[in-house]
Amino acid sequence: MLHLEELRAEIKGEFFLREELKKHGVKKVDAVADVIIKPAGKKELIKLMHLLHKSGYPHLVINSKGRIVIPEKHFHGVVVISEPKK
């Protein structure tokens, strides 16, 4: 199991615990994340994604516009899409 201390040792960037996404500029997603990581650059993001995938730790990549990038274009789990009826 991957531990937060291991990630902090390997990845340059900012780490936050149990915070609202909107506090970090993600305005369209009203949710709290257990861990938020803001890698210091593209190389750090790639390294982080490799570590998370290798460990099997559940993760998503989201930008400040609320767009979600599914790692390796395959999300292992349930995705619920809710569209309000007009």
The pLDDT tens digits of the residues spanning 11-40 come to 999 999 999 888 988 888 888 888 999 999
How far is Cα 20 from Cα 4, in angstroms, rounded to an integer?
18
User: Average model confidence (pLDDT) for the chain?
Assistant: 84
State which of 28-32, 42-46, 61-65 shows the largest mean pLDDT: 42-46
How far is Cα 16 from Cα 37, in angstroms, rounded to an integer?
7
> What pTM was estimated for this model as a whole?
0.79
How far is Cα 15 from Cα 83, in angstroms, rounded to an integer?
32
